[in-house]
A and B are shown apart, each in its own frame.
Chain A
Amino acid sequence: MKLKLKIWKQKNAKSDGAFETYDLDGVAPEMSFVEMLALLNQTLAQQGREPVAFDHDCHEGICGSCGMYINGYPHGLVKGLTTCLLSMRHFKDGETIVIEPWRAKPFPVVKDLIVDRSALDKIQVAGGFISVTTGAAADANAVLVSKKKSDLAFDSAVCIGCGACVAACKNASAMLFVSAKISQYALLPQGRPEAKERVRAMIAEMDKQAFGSCSNTGACEAQCPKQIKLFNIARLNREYYKSY
């Protein structure tokens, strides 16, 4: 496959960026999007040109490192996939692909397609944990959890914190991320003792990081590679009101 790539190049957060166009030959349909970019960088290195900076790590959709805005979609057109699992067979030979970094005030561009997503980490640090004494692991059946609740909690716990929800939202809101983090604890008995402090602290931190608010447009749900559901946001709101 032959591709024309229009990639956002930006030296750092302070400099102005611009698109640079690259022609890339020899892309195999079975390559992942990240492997395609690695091929591009290899080609650029051989030509003595500067490679494109982009985040990637696990290549199996569980780390949340990769993430770019591909032709108007965070993580690309295919639903439920991270950029590293997006296969090049979804693109046509000769196609032009426009790649941009996540855009949000709390996500400053570090370089090219890499953005600083530590704002999400700060929200997590504010309350996304449970306080337990360390030592021997507790007996698995000491606290009973219903199958339904454990499934729902797990469905929200699969959030990898990639920031696609923020990137997709017209308000750059992190509500889906926060709702997933809140839900995974709110649904389980172990999360209840600190539920009030948690939800207040995480929402306060979310606002402090200047994420937008939720307009219930559903773009986040559509673009989430882990398919976190919108009703988690309703649960987050519920938990917030219940904390008073």
Chain B
Amino acid sequence: MNKTLFSAVSKKFVMALAGLFLLLFLPVHLGINLMLLKSDPEPFNSAAHFMATFPLIKVVELLLFLTILIHITYGIILQILNWLSRPVGYKVRNKSETSAFSRFMIWTGGSVLIFLVIHFFNFYFIKLGLVDGNPEDFYSVAWQLFSVPGYVILYWICFLLLGFHLYHALQSAFQTLGLSNEFWKPVIRAISLIYAVAVPVGFAIIPLVIWLFK
């Protein structure tokens, strides 16, 4: 039983499902973030308030934390096992043709994790009362953060790396779930590209627009 539940393929299956769930969450988050572009803080703050208090969303939030934890834990376990599968490496760098972003998933994923920690520190900890700030006015918190050039540059770098991660993630998840074949592969690849460009760009233009026009 353990052999099948924890086989390499099962681990990948769990990781792919968790990853796809996170992919669904990102556009929702982006939708709310886009309200930051309004001069009136009210829509953003009430959306944030809704997300923080509505009971059903609380359940989804718990599921989201669990998913993030599973995705990261499995990702690290699989990566370590994969490194152990080649204890002695090649002296000449492996030049086999691969999809470019697939080789760096642990590193792009790791940088997204670092961003996530900063992000939690900036917002979620306020809600928990661990950091000073008004949890009912995340609009001002966000605007304040976007006024710091260093933060915005870090924000952009993280979203660029997230885009690299997402591009491989989406198509890889389909392959892992067994939903890819010769016909669908180019379609899935195109969807991955659109998603991996649209979502990070959506997030990244918010501080830019604020800088340029507000």
Contacts of B86 in A (CB 8 A): 103-105, 170-172, 212
Q: Does A40 interact with chain B (Cβ within 8 Å)? A: no
Question: B93 contacts A216, CB within 8 Å?
Answer: no
Q: Does B96 interact with chain A (Cβ within 8 Å)? A: yes
Binds B, one of A43-51, A83-91, A198-206: A198-206
Q: Does A223 interact with chain B (Cβ within 8 Å)? A: yes
The contact string, 1 if C-beta is below 8 Å from chain B, for chain A 98-125, is 1010011110000000000000000000
Question: A230 contacts B81, CB within 8 Å?
Answer: no
Contacts of A103 in B (CB 8 A): 86, 88-90
Question: A219 contacts B98, CB within 8 Å?
Answer: yes
The A-B contact count (CB < 8 A) is 139
Q: How far is the CB of B197 from chain A (nearest CB, A)?
A: 20
Question: A100 contacts B81, CB within 8 Å?
Answer: no
Q: How far is the CA of A69 from the CA of B90 in the complex (A)?
A: 9
Q: How far is the CA of A29 from the CA of B92 in the complex (A)?
A: 24
Q: Does A229 interact with chain B (Cβ within 8 Å)? A: yes
- Beta-carbon nearest neighbor of A213 in chain B: B8
Question: A234 contacts B178, CB within 8 Å?
Answer: yes
Q: Which of A196-244 contact B (CB under 8 A)?
A: 200, 203-204, 206-207, 210-219, 222-223, 229-231, 233-241, 244
Question: A219 contacts B94, CB within 8 Å?
Answer: yes
Question: A237 contacts B95, CB within 8 Å?
Answer: no
Interface residue count for A (Cβ, 8 Å)? 48
Q: Does B144 interact with chain A (Cβ within 8 Å)? A: no
Query: What interface size band does chain B fall in?
Result: 35 or more
Binds A, one of B22-30, B47-55, B59-67, B180-188: B180-188
Q: How far is the CB of B123 from chain A (nearest CB, A)?
A: 32
Question: A217 contacts B102, CB within 8 Å?
Answer: yes
Q: Does B39 interact with chain A (Cβ within 8 Å)? A: no
Kindly name the residue among A98, A105, A231 whose own CB sees the greatest number of chain B CB atoms within 10 A: A231
Question: B81 contacts A238, CB within 8 Å?
Answer: no
Question: A100 contacts B92, CB within 8 Å?
Answer: yes
Question: B102 contacts A200, CB within 8 Å?
Answer: no
Q: Does B176 interact with chain A (Cβ within 8 Å)? A: yes
Q: Does B97 interact with chain A (Cβ within 8 Å)? A: yes
The 10 closest A-B pairs by CB, nearest first: A238-B178, A212-B85, A171-B82, A213-B8, A72-B95, A237-B178, A219-B96, A172-B85, A222-B97, A217-B102
Chain B residues within 8 Å of A, Cβ to Cβ: 3-4, 7-9, 11-13, 78, 81-82, 84-99, 102-103, 105, 168, 171-172, 174-182, 185
Chain A residues within 8 Å of B, Cβ to Cβ: 8, 19, 69, 71-74, 98, 100, 103-106, 168, 170-173, 200, 203-204, 206-207, 210-219, 222-223, 229-231, 233-241, 244
8 pairs of residues in contact across A and B, judged by CB atoms under 8 Å: A98-B91, A172-B82, A215-B82, A215-B102, A217-B103, A222-B98, A231-B181, A234-B175
